[in-house]
Chain A
């Protein structure tokens, strides 16, 4: 059996705090959001007003944490684009190579073509997915959420973007996309050399990279 002894400190503490805060808030938003949209079926908090308040609070946490994340990578680390935007090589070959791995090679037990390093944490498909989530999905869901939280105060903007109905519809579809992403995210996290291999690093910070490099998530 292949050894997995070499470890790199891939996820610093602030990043892990951000990840779990974000994860907790997103799950809270999904649960309370379901209660707000389907109150006759989902009654986990058992109080609609509490769901509104918790949903709003979790939304603010996600909004603030997104801004912190963006400032951290874009202005302090200055590597937002290299980490999250697919390179030409990623687009030309990386995506197909990674798709082939997930679709065929993984089942044959072949190694992951992407080698994790501190400067190259994500494979081409991960970069694309995270780019979509962090630079499109999250900002859109936060903006629509902010507008919906302040329908009276931001009335002109609500009408300018198409009205309350459009906003609610968009917010709902974005939330569904988030849930779909979460499902895929969690499943792909189990594709390490053991089902927990990719969960442990985002908790401890240390990633095993020798032999069978880290992948997915």
Chain B
């Protein structure tokens, strides 16, 4: 081929290639994806270099709904030259997506003292059922010290420590009307102390009891039907006793609001301590995942009472009384009533006879 023609064709090929990959071409410009971000920010050493806030636990972040929208959805000003450009990428405001929550929160007294991120880490945020009630309380107690909480509630709330240990703060300090009983696996030592910030057993601790192939759920859900029967609870307790484990029941709300209001009915003990809400008869066991989140498995329908036989530490006075014991007690009382009824009847029938004798 002629040299000039060969040179022309080469120039055309290079121009075509540049037009394809270059700016405005068929391929986009460089863009950060989550793997790029996590490549640096998921390495714990970044915290030592630039501060703890730079570290994002990749496993935990992956479980959040924020991972679905991607890092640059919130940090959209990040440049191709990051971090050499020395510019801190922008951070989206929570209200850009959660505007309804932000508006509700803005009306609450809490908004004057805490921002969203003071309670929620956007890189480790989970839905309500994915958080243990103890974690919720631990967050609250970062500002509201445990002693202050016990002291302020102790003025009116009987069994204060037990109450605070048995429900998340948001059970009363939100407008949720529906509750369930959620059991967490704990070591007995933690339970004895009633420490409101004591952690439930970790995934690793439970895996030591579990079938490795079937995962942590197998410690309770033996048949793998994603439902825990009373029999399975009993079986669990037989194994757990030897390992100083037990179930700790907490009353957890099904919804949360961000107005932090305390509804009038929360001052009425019978709101919880009565058989009222049907949802209270629902119970779950919440088990920790390998990366901190929780998954809950329903306990056999209407089985709170039955579950209690496997959970000797859980009792909600007035709400979870045993039908069997109620019946047994009634029989004892009837036994007492039988004396005046039968003796009194014969007494009345023989009254005339005794008068005659006198």
Q: Which residues of A are at the interface with B, using a C-beta cutoff of 8 A?
A: 1-2, 36-40, 48-49, 52-53, 56, 102, 106-109, 151-152, 155-156, 159, 162-166, 168-169, 172-173, 175-177, 179-184, 186-188
Contact = CB atoms under 8 A, between A and B. Distances in A.
A164 B318 contact: no
Contact of B340 (A151, A165, A184): A184
Contacts of A165: 308-309, 311-315, 322
Contacts of B192: 155-156, 159
Contacts of A1: 358
Contacts of A39: 269-270, 273-274, 318
A100 B358 CA distance: 20
Contacts of A166: 312
B159 to A, nearest CB: 6
A36 B270 CA distance: 9
Nearest to A170: B325
B340 A162 contact: no
B352 to A, nearest CB: 11
Contacts of B315: 164-165, 168
A71 to B, nearest CB: 29
Given A108-B353, A164-B313, 16 more contacts: A1-B358, A39-B273, A52-B269, A106-B347, A107-B350, A108-B350, A108-B354, A159-B312, A168-B317, A169-B325, A173-B325, A176-B329, A180-B336, A183-B333, A183-B337, A187-B344
A106 B317 CA distance: 44
Contacts of A36: 273, 317-318
A187 B335 contact: no
A182 B340 CA distance: 11
A152 B346 contact: no
A116 to B, nearest CB: 21
B156 A49 contact: yes
Given A109-B358, A180-B335, A48 B273 contact: yes
Interface in B232-277: 268-270, 273-276
B203 interface: no
A52 B311 contact: no
A182 B336 CA distance: 8
A-B interface, 4 closest residue pairs, ranked by CB to CB distance from nearest? A180-B336, A163-B312, A48-B269, A176-B329
A171 to B, nearest CB: 10
B330 A176 contact: yes
A139 B198 CA distance: 35
Contacts of A188: 339
B13 interface: no
Given A159-B188, A173-B325, A176-B332, A107 B313 contact: no
B194 A155 contact: yes
Contacts of B325: 169, 172-173
B357 interface: yes
A180 B337 CA distance: 7
Given A48-B318, A162-B312, A176-B329, A183 B269 contact: no
A39 B274 CA distance: 6
A109 B354 CA distance: 5
A187 B336 CA distance: 10
Contact of A183 (B158, B160, B318, B340): B340
Given A49-B269, A168-B315, A177 B158 contact: no
Contact of B339 (A168, A176, A183): A183
Given A159-B313, A165-B309, A48 B330 contact: no
A215 to B, nearest CB: 14
B321 interface: yes
B104 to A, nearest CB: 30
A67 to B, nearest CB: 24
A165 B339 CA distance: 31
A102 B343 contact: yes
A36 B273 CA distance: 8
Contacts of A56: 158
A168 B329 CA distance: 12
A164 B353 CA distance: 54
A106 B344 CA distance: 11
B329 A173 contact: yes
| Residue among B274, B318, B322 with the highest chain A CB neighbour number at 10 A | B318
A101 B162 CA distance: 52
A53 B158 contact: yes
A106 B333 CA distance: 24
Given A39-B318, A162-B312, A187 B340 contact: yes
A107 B158 contact: no
Contacts of B63: none
A107 B354 contact: yes
B101 interface: no
A5 B260 CA distance: 74
Given A37-B317, A39-B273, A151-B162, A109 B357 contact: yes
